Structure 1
Amino acid sequence: MSERGVRLYTRLPMLRAERAMSRRELADALEVHYQTIGYIERGEYMPSMEIGLKAAALFGLPVEAIFSLEPFPTLDEAALVRKASG
């Protein structure tokens, strides 16, 4: 949790796993220290706008698909919503 008491949720671990990318590789791509990635993934560090935008560009996703102030729905919940509306 950040020093302001705001929790940031992230999909970075899932995105890294899908791409077989290590924390160090992601850190190099985002031009940060590899430990910073761990802090972000554990919710111990609030990334800057620059890091968020670089991550979005790297993964080809909108920032809000990677970071959120609300918990992301589980993949099961997301699949159920699509099935019900489709």
Structure 2
Amino acid sequence: MTEAQAAVYIGRSIKTVQRRRKCGQIAFIRDGGIRYRLEDLEAYLAERRVAATTPPTPSRKSKYRRASAGSEQNRNALCEFI
């Protein structure tokens, strides 16, 4: 595939693909131009894969305190008064 197609496949820009090729991170074929094999791109992505090592973060706490039963009664009484 071409550089543009390879960039779309790995989700990066063409410039990034070119930099990674020049650094030797992505194998390529020089055949009157630069071409990439699907297997080489998959190997590049597999090398960069990082396994999850920590459990997902718990959901965030609400920034508002939960109303106590007394507060709720007071609010209801105020609403009835008005």
TM-score normalized by structure 1? 0.30
| Larger radius of gyration between Structure 1 and Structure 2 | 2
Between structures 1 and 2, the one with greater helix share: 1
- Higher relative contact order (Cα pairs below 8 Å, separated by 6+ residues): 1
